[in-house]
Structure 1
Amino acid sequence: MALRGGTRFAVRCEDVFPAGCALVPESLGEVEDYDEKTGRRTPAKDKVTGQRVWQVRVMDLDPELGKRSRETTVKISADYQPVPPTGTPFEAVEFDGMTVTPYVTNNGRMAYSLRATGMRAPVGVTRDPSLAAA
């Protein structure tokens, strides 16, 4: 069986972020495609689903990372802009419908991109902080 470039492999959020992840404030935005011929930017569309593409930066909370970079980007395919669960800075999130796409960079290193179909508060986390005390 041959795999084509751009193959997406389904993964669980807890496998990618075993200690969880937190949104980087003000990092959620729409991805744009750039047309070099016209110099125009247009909203990016997912090549598989045809949906608009949004991206968000997250901090991996895994303590085993030590001093290594903790920030990564997750692209979300959705018809409408995803909304962070609480809107608080550095809030914990989980992603639904995650996939990973491995690729080789120009300098020959292995890398991967992360995609999801949505984001939500982690299981067991209450949306309204005032309800947590009840």
Structure 2
Amino acid sequence: MALRGGTRFSVRCEDVFPAGCALVPESMGEVEDYDEKTGRRSPAKDKVTGQRVWQVKVMDLDPELGKRSRETTVKISADYQPAAPTGAYFEQVEFDGMTVTPYVANNGRMAYSLRATGMRAPAGVSSGKAAA
């Protein structure tokens, strides 16, 4: 049995970030595709769902990382730009519908990309928004 490139494996957020993760302020943005023939950029679309793709940077809060890099990117497929749950700087977040896609990077080493279908405050954390 062979896996095709781009195979997405479902994972739980707590398995990827066992100590949690914090949203890097002002890091949310729409992913763009670049057409080399025309030189134009256009909003990226998820090849599986057809939804627009957004990316956000997070800091892994795992103390076992020591001095290693803690920042990683999670791509979120959604029709509209996701919003930070509370708007606080470096707020903790959790991701829904997470998947991991392994690939071989240009340097020949194994790497992976993270995707999600949504972002929210961790359980027990108030959103800080008043109920309507």
TM-score, normalised to structure 1's length?
A: 0.95
CA deviations 1:50-76 (Å, max 9, x no partner) are: 000000000000000000000000000
In structure 1, runs of 5+ residues without a counterpart are: none
Instruction: Give the number of equivalent residue pairs.
Output: 130
- Map 1:50-129; keep pairs closer than 5 Å: 50-128=50-128
Q: Where does residue 5 of structure 2 map in the other structure?
A: 5
CA RMSD of aligned residues (A): 1.2
Q: Where does residue 31 of structure 1 map in the other structure?
A: 31
* Secondary structure of the structure 1 residue equivalent to 2:48: coil
Specify the code of the residue in structure 2 equivalent to 1:126. S
Specify the code of the residue in structure 1 equivalent to 2:104. V
Offset of residue 129 of structure 1? 8.3
In structure 2, runs of 5+ residues without a counterpart are: none
Distance 2:62 2:95 in 1: 16
Change (3 A) 1:129 1:43: closer
Asked if 1:48 corresponds to 2:48, the answer is yes
Where in structure 1 do 4 or more consecutive aligned residues deviate above 3 Å?
none
* Secondary structure of the structure 1 residue equivalent to 2:64: helix
Specify the code of the residue in structure 2 equivalent to 1:6. G
Offset of residue 107 of structure 1? 1.6
Offset of residue 11 of structure 1? 0.1
CA deviations 1:60-98 (Å, max 9, x no partner) are: 000000000000000000000001100111000000000
Q: Where does residue 17 of structure 2 map in the other structure?
A: 17
Specify the code of the residue in structure 1 equivalent to 2:98. M
Per mean C-alpha deviation after superposition, the further-off stretch among 53-62 and 102-111 is: 102-111
Percent identity of paired positions between Structure 1 and Structure 2:
88
Distance 1:57 1:51 in 2: 19
